[in-house]
Amino acid sequence: MQITVNDTSYTIDVEPEMPLLWVLREELGITGPKYGCGIAQCGACTVHVNGYAVRSCQLAIGDLGNSSVKTIEGLGTPDSLHIVQEAWIEHQVAQCGYCQSGQIMQAASLLSTNPDPSDDQIDAAMSGNLCRCGTYPRIRAVVKAAAKKLQGS
């Protein structure tokens, strides 16, 4: 089976029912997406599939088809961060950090489809991403900051 992750093609030999998250972490060693709950209740495993946020624990690899996957590792690079990652660092959002890759991927997906979201829209989009450290106020602030950066760029 061929899959494309972060613009790189991989050949894998797994059962089609295996969730994408397992493939990423266990088969490909791409550990940015985190295992939190395994049932789409926490958002820690969020990646992009064809540009849209998807909980990778919920997508069987056999259902991926020819879709391309992007993880936090492919969103930006240390030398050229994604605008959401830049804002995330500037606002020092993370506390323990476990949920943050999922938060960033969800925020980037939101801004790609809605570059100027209201507070309510940010809350609606981000409420499925849990943060046990309670960084929610900073997350909302940083999504707004990233939106401003996008509009200025």
- Helical residues (DSSP H) of 36-99, grouped into ranges: 72-75, 83-90
Neighbours of 147 (CB within 10 A): 21
In the region spanning residues 61 to 80, those forming contacts with another protein, defined by CB under 8 A, are 62-63, 65
Minimum Å gap between C-beta 29 and another protein is 23
Is residue 120 within 8 A of residue 90, CB to CB? The reply is no
Rounding to the nearest 10 degrees, give the CA dihedral for residues 63, 11, 99, 35: 70
Considering beta carbons, is residue 47 or 83 the nearer one to another protein? 47
Per-residue x/- marks for another protein, 20-39, CB under 8 A?
------------------xx
For the chain, the first-to-last Cα distance in angstroms comes to 39
For the bound state, the minimum distance from the C-beta of residue 78 to another protein, rounded and expressed in Å, comes to 28
Considering only 51, 121, 132, 134, the residue that binds another protein (CB under 8 A) is 121
17 vs 90, beta carbon nearer another protein: 17
Report the C-alpha gap between 62 and 13 in whole angstroms. Answer: 11
Interacting residues with another protein between 124 and 143 (CB under 8 A): 124-125, 127-128
